[in-house]
A and B are shown apart, each in its own frame.
Chain A
């Protein structure tokens, strides 16, 4: 390909879907991806005996890619929300919230390589948080407008989900039937029913039947370590593979984009990327930034047009603002019966009962609950020995035999409302290998967020107890640790140029050939919905809108 029509920066949930939709329509697309390719068969070591010793096998280390400002002091009144383990006490000794990680992947497919595969649609009311509840911002379109793109994304990914749509009305069924619940999830379901709560199959990107040349899932439970079976619908295996197959799309790996170059007439003219310390320039008609909600604002802030120091597309001053993170809690305990709880999909069931923005008593913003035993990494003997059983000698070995397979964890994720103290800016002191300021993460949990988290924690404990768990072994959450997996909001989309960075088609209000097509555009986080499907649906919609201009 000589000169692409569209350059897409980043190949995660947003960039990949966007690139596919354009390439499929005959547009010449070049994807610039900072990271390498992953080969699921070689890189994901779930068939090796040492599988449990490593998490996701990151080829590009993420520690130190971003910095963070000091986090807030912890308060005694929320002592119940500290992370702890029954053998080791408080997991984090500091009297301040600790920064653990912004969990993401640098590679073809982005963070979907590491994701659990939950494939959620937004609750329709969670897209109207400003007009209905006077918080966050409204989405510039409604659920009905996004619905066809959800259908398309689900079809391309191969989502398996239940037939009852609940409040998320559907124009077509899921492409694949829901998975059966694991034996352990059935126990949690019994607990939920005792409490009068629902517990249904969770829509996931793991195949319940062979689909699109990929085999069905075999329930190994390790989606977050990378799926070597190729059934998990990651962006590299779905959107990227299909985009490349059109012949209209190329991908350049190891292409770390350093800046966008602004031209005349409010148009971006080129991007500059670095690879092994050489710099390259690519010109195109349109540019889509999809580096994730932390690196996208950084790239824009590092791309100030001549005569400005505010960054590119930052006329509203909102690039980097409205940063939203993952508000989560998990409680894990020992069930009296053998469950074989290391088996099955990590998050195969869900309780949506508190997902509506007004469902939690006294706090605006919803949440949801799902099994968390695998995500808590309580599915292998090493973690049992260290975190559950402890001890040593003969009694340790006997207890390992009694307890292995009996851990049961339930987790909740909730809405995270924007707060002026949570944002991304450029670190004035720390630079990367190309001498560019790193992104600095500022995170603050306001009292309302902690109250929502408190509700989530209490409900997790109730579900666990109702499921028969007598002894809680470990709990952890975002009160004392920033450990985000879902991040959003830093280039908000909206109808007004003053109050948003991009318009409803994800195009900069001023720089019309510049788009943002990743989680940065979310005006609100949703009530705990996992975001990847929505990110892809928004990107598909943005691509269709752009086709009218190309």
Chain B
């Protein structure tokens, strides 16, 4: 048999390695110098739900927030202080960008403005804060969001794999319910 295990290992190591490099960014430098408790107070995660909903918006299937991705992500980040720091720094960066545009918080921007900022993050240099933040949140948001059966319906995925299995396996698939 052939086994894939590249993905998880590589990604995790990459994020954590890159996090170390972030110490050279401002305001990352200032925030990273603080203990996690202080960072929590100094930085806010209020932009996170809007960021997640820009990545995974509501259409015929629910948005990230509707499936509680934010709290799950924060819960996971709290188990790994490096990741929590990254979230705080990333959300601070989102608000800085939105302030530049119209002096408001990221979560108060309209969708077009949020999309523009997320694009900037996605297209930033490889090991820059916005890019690492974008990649990490995208990676874990997909994992949390697509573990919800509500996200499966419009894909035509009738899971989980057990207890029913896929008895129709030899036939063409049924088209997804839209």
Contact = CB atoms under 8 A, between A and B. Distances in A.
Given A46-B162, A92-B10, A393-B55, A382 B173 contact: no
Given A218-B164, A220-B162, A404-B157, A476 B4 contact: yes
B169 A344 contact: yes
Interface string A329-353: 1100000001110111111000000
Contact of B115 (A53, A372, A393, A397): A393
Interface in B57-101: 57, 59, 61
A118 B155 contact: no
B143 A48 contact: no
Contact of B167 (A219, A397, A481): A219
B2 A413 contact: yes
Interface stretch (A164-172, A175-183, A277-285, A512-520): A175-183
A220 B57 contact: no
Contacts of B159: 49, 51, 342, 380
Interface in A392-412: 392-394, 396-398, 400-401, 404-405, 411
B15 interface: no
A413 to B, nearest CB: 7
Interface in A360-376: 372, 375-376
Given A342-B166, A393-B55, A394-B59, A405 B157 contact: yes
Interface string A474-496: 00100001010110000000000
Interface stretch (B21-29, B30-38, B102-110, B146-154): B146-154
Contacts of A180: 169-170
Interface SS of chain B: loop
A67 interface: no
Interface stretch (A122-130, A222-230, A429-437, A465-473): A222-230
Contacts of A524: none
Q: Is the interface of A mostly helix, strand, loop or mixed?
A: loop
A328 interface: yes
Contact of B56 (A55, A218, A224, A397): A397
A116 interface: yes
Contacts of B165: 217-220, 229
Contacts of A398: 59
Nearest to A382: B146
A397 B147 contact: no
Contacts of A345: 169
Nearest to B155: A404
Contact of A55 (B2, B5, B170): B5
Instruction: Among A101, A330, A343, A530, find the residue whose CB has the most chain B CB atoms closer than 10 A.
Output: A343
A397 B157 contact: no
B168 A343 contact: yes
B20 to A, nearest CB: 16
A219 B169 contact: yes
A92 B175 contact: no
A228 B1 contact: no
A381 B167 contact: no
A233 to B, nearest CB: 15
A115 interface: yes
Given A92-B6, A381-B155, A401-B154, A47 B162 contact: yes
Contacts of A53: 143, 147
B173 to A, nearest CB: 3
B43 to A, nearest CB: 23
A401 B176 contact: yes
A394 B5 CA distance: 29
A50 interface: yes
A83 B1 contact: no
B162 A100 contact: no
B5 A100 contact: yes
A91 interface: yes
Given A183-B173, A380-B159, A372 B166 contact: no
A382 B161 contact: no
A377 B4 contact: yes
Interface of A: 46-53, 55, 83, 85, 88, 91-92, 100-101, 103, 115-116, 118, 180-183, 186, 217-222, 224, 228-229, 326, 328-330, 338-340, 342-347, 372, 375-377, 380-387, 392-394, 396-398, 400-401, 404-405, 411, 413, 476, 481, 483, 485-486, 530
Given A221-B169, A343-B168, A404-B156, 13 more contacts: A49-B160, A53-B143, A100-B6, A115-B1, A183-B173, A326-B2, A340-B174, A375-B4, A380-B146, A382-B146, A383-B7, A397-B57, A397-B61
12 contacts: A53-B143, A181-B170, A182-B170, A229-B165, A330-B4, A344-B170, A384-B146, A385-B146, A386-B139, A393-B54, A401-B178, A476-B6
